[in-house]
């Protein structure tokens, strides 16, 4: 057993036991080295939504760098007799040396979209199933919800404020996914540090309750942060809170936040009161258990920005994207390629190596075109669909990840890409009601 090369904590045990026991058996029967193609996709869109958003790709690539079995990991597997000594020796030298192609982070997806295509030996590719699914299922679920909220908010800014409603590392990942899908800021400082996301936040109700009076709390906050800050006005009586805020800060107060009540009615009353007091430029932020439907209901209200917590970090009713990771092609004993697929009821998959394209008509998306091949010939619809946009990019080539999709720069690129491709959607895709996917998934043979 040899020490792991990377200094970061290993991610190799973020997996299910059967991944390693399959490798153990495959090493015994000689199939571990067979070349295989695995595909990560969703059979349907969660919550009967009209499109999905790919998120988590950059995080997966980063985790793949640290997918190494060091002494601690190997000792645990040995002590608990998970696999044989021969498999422990194999895992000690494990490095993914294959190729991963997939949809760019921020891209839209539909049922059957080959979001990730992993090519390598069976042993090196099968073990990535759990970590790939855990990251993309979580992050894409958040991005799916965030995109809908972004559509409902229109040009009004959105802030993610859900850290306390998620596990600590899930909160950071959720802030990242929400930012990619259209949110503008996060309250989570680690997300800001790690991913370059703008952060926001001033004070909670505890700040007002700490002081003897609301006025003292407001004066202290203004002294510390200046008049451009946002004051939380609903700890006690909202109307009195507005009056106190303007008396303390003057009409140049940056903003007020409302976190309770019948938000459309309260926002209208607060706006009228601010205007009467001369604070016409003071902005109104609303929070309080918002989701995409509540945001849409506030479209006609005098609200300037939104803060969203629980609903966005939990996928707003669809906490997982429901993606799966399946073997779709393998070499046979003679080295020829064979398409393989499950045929189980309601859980079937479509075998074969695939390429994906989005067909367009004058800039508007019309279908998700999936080209399927039994072999490894070039997969391109260019001659039949000259306006189709290729969706797959190379993320990992012979084990080397493309660093351009990682880190803060990768997040910024994913956010910009999402904004661009969302413009391709037909108008019907922007509705919030439950429906069929906005684009049909069309399969065609490579020939």
Q: Are strands 323-331 and 337-339 parallel, antiparallel or unpaired?
A: antiparallel
Contact 213, 178 (CB under 8 A): no
- pLDDT tens sequence across 61-111: 999 999 999 999 999 999 999 999 999 999 999 999 999 999 999 999 999
Least confident segment among 271-275, 276-280, 386-390: 386-390
Kindly state the greatest CA–CA separation across the chain.
Answer: 83
The gap from C-alpha 351 to its chain's centroid, in whole angstroms, comes to 26
Q: How far apart are CA 389 and CA 247, in angstroms?
A: 57
- pLDDT tens sequence across 197-218: 999 999 999 999 999 999 999 9
Q: What percent of the chain shows pLDDT beyond 90? A: 90
Residue 4 clears pLDDT 50, i.e. is over it: no
Query: What pLDDT, on the 0 to 100 scale, is given for residue 5?
Result: 43
Query: What pLDDT, on the 0 to 100 scale, is given for residue 386?
Result: 74
């Amino acid at each position: 057993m040899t020490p792991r090369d990377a200094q970061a904590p290993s991610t190799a045990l973020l997996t299910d036991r059967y991944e390693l026991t399959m490798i153990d058996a495959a090493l015994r029967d000689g199939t571990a080295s067979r070349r295989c193609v695995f595909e990560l996709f969703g059979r349907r869109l969660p919550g009967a939504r009209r499109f999905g958003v790919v998120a988590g790709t950059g995080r997966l690539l980063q985790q793949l760098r640290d997918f190494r079995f060091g002494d601690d990991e190997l000792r645990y597997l040995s002590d608990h007799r998970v696999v044989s000594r021969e498999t422990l020796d194999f895992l000690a030298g494990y490095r993914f040396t294959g190729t991963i192609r997939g949809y760019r982070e921020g891209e839209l997806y539909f049922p059957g979209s080959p979001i990730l295509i992993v090519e390598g030996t069976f042993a090196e590719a099968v073990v990535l199933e759990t970590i790939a699914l855990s990251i993309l299922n979580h992050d894409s679920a958040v991005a799916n919800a965030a995109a809908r909220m972004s559509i409902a908010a229109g040009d009004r800014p959105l802030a993610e404020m859900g850290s306390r409603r998620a596990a600590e590392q899930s909160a950071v990942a959720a802030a990242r996914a929400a930012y990619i899908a259209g949110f503008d800021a996060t309250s989570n400082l680690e997300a800001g540090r790690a991913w370059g996301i703008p952060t926001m936040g001033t004070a909670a109700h505890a700040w007002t309750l700490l002081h003897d009076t609301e006025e003292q709390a407001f004066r202290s906050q203004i002294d510390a942060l200046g008049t451009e800050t946002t004051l939380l006005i609903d700890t006690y009586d909202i109307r009195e809170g507005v009056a106190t805020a303007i008396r303390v800060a003057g009409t140049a107060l940056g903003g007020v936040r409302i976190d309770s009540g019948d938000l459309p009615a309260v926002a209208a009353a607060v706006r009228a009161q601010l205007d009467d007091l001369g604070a016409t430029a003071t902005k109104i932020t609303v929070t309080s258990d918002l989701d995409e439907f509540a945001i849409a209901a506030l479209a006609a209200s005098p609200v300037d920005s939104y803060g969203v917590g629980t609903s966005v970090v939990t996928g707003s009713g669809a906490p997982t994207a429901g993606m799966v990771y399946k073997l779709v092609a393998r070499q046979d004993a003679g080295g020829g390629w064979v398409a393989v697929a499950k045929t189980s009821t309601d859980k079937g998959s479509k075998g074969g190596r695939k390429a994906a394209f989005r067909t367009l008509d004058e800039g508007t998306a019309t279908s998700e075109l999936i080209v399927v091949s039994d072999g490894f010939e070039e997969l391109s619809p260019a001659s039949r669909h000259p306006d189709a946009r290729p969706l797959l990019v190379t993320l990992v080539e012979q084990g080397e990840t493309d660093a351009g999709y990682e880190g803060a720069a990768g997040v910024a690129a994913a956010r910009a890409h999402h904004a661009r491709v969302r413009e391709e959607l037909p108008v019907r895709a922007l509705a919030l009601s439950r429906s069929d996917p906005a684009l049909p998934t069309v399969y065609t043979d490579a020939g």
